[in-house]
Amino acid sequence: MRFIKAIIFLLLSIILLPTAVSAQTGLKVLSYNVLYGLQNDSVTKQSYVEWVKQKDPDIVAYQEMNDFTQKGLEAFAAQYGHPYAVLSKTDGFPVALTSKYPIVNTQKVVDNMWHAYIYANVNGNHVFVIHFSPFSYQKRRHEVAEVLARAALIPQEEPIMIMGDFNSLSADDADAYDEAFVESRREAERQREIVRNLDNGKLDYSVTDAMKKAGFQDAIRLFHQDFQRSAPTQKYFKGTMQRIDYLWVNDVLAQRIRSADFIYDDVTDTISDHYPLFVTFDTASPPTR
């Protein structure tokens, strides 16, 4: 009888093993514009650390990591279990990348970018972290062309994700943007000459259209057909909701994606003026060929 029980236990273990391994190897990715480096406030930073530890992402892509240094970012990331970290620059509005896995083949690109972007390979995944111009649709068109040209150098059978604050709208959300929204943008342009986000008085969707044309898929739209706002948050709400934060995947990653959501909770309502985007995939790294 004991022998039979042992055989049954062994068979059940073999049957359940793939499920257990799959649960352990899923990849969780967080993209977050954290508003002036979490406002360089120790209480805000600690609140974020406790929050992100609960979410337990494998990769975090940051925008607006103001006042961070490379060493400071490494120490910060270590608090939530990420031993690897890369900062694009130390001035202005840096982007950053932290991970449980080694970050290799890193490129930090500042030239021709309003802020910067990072490209790196993380556990076999090609990762881009971007932050495009907040003021000029024409500059954003140049920036997306730059990033897509770099992405085109990667074999398309390999997994690619491009994420961050695009400061760009999507035609998929057009129904959410009424005439009052357009007028608020016209008023912004009347008040500040540097602001030119309308194309001949109309909303510009060219950046996200370029992503689609290049074969990338909008992670949020794979799971949500209704409008999902990414900014502003409840604390900074001024009557204008929009989606300007994205994680785009190529076809290889689109087949592995499990979920994509903005996180709306008591912490994210106040910690930044953007909501974080959280995306999960079914494996941490690409299948071995």
pLDDT at 247 over 90: yes
Task: State the average pLDDT over residues 235-246.
Answer: 91
Token pair in block for residue 255: 């087949």
Report how far residue 185's alpha carbon sits from residue 191's, in angstroms, rounded to the nearest whole number.
10
Quote the mean pLDDT of the chain.
Answer: 92
Q: Tell me which residue has tokens 């009557």.
A: 239
23: pLDDT strictly greater than 90: no
* The pair of three-digit structure tokens given for residue 285, joined into one six-digit string: 């790294």
Residue 287 is predicted with a pLDDT of 63
For 141-180, how does the pLDDT look when each residue is reduced to its tens digit (9 = 90+)? 999 999 999 999 999 999 999 999 999 999 999 999 999 9
pLDDT at residue number 284: 65
Whether pTM > 0.75 for this model: the answer is yes
In the DSSP assignment, the letter for residue 133 is: -
Do the beta carbons of residue 229 and residue 238 sit within 8 Å?
no
Write down the residue that tokens 């999507």 correspond to.
Answer: 170
Q: Per-residue pLDDT tens for 196-206?
A: 999 999 999 99
Which ranges of the chain would DSSP assign to H, the alpha helix?
Answer: 2-25, 35-38, 42-55, 70-78, 137-151, 179-191, 206-213, 219-223, 251-254
Task: Say which residues have a Cβ less than 8 Å from residue 190's Cβ, sequence separation at least 6.
Answer: none
Query: What's the pLDDT at 220?
Result: 98
State the average pLDDT over residues 78-96: 98
Give the end-to-end CA distance of the chain in Å, rounded to a whole number. 43
**What's the pLDDT tens digit per position in 35-45?**
999 999 999 99
Does residue 69 contact residue 92 with C-beta atoms inside 8 Å?
no
Cis ω on the peptide bond leading into residue 57 (within 30° of 0)? no
> What does the pLDDT average to over 42-65?
98
pLDDT at 283: 80
Q: What is the pLDDT of residue 25?
A: 61
The model's confidence at residue 285, banded by pLDDT at 50, 70 and 90, is low
- In this model, does residue 282 exceed pLDDT 50? yes
- In order of their start, the domains of the chain are 23-281 (3.60.10.10)
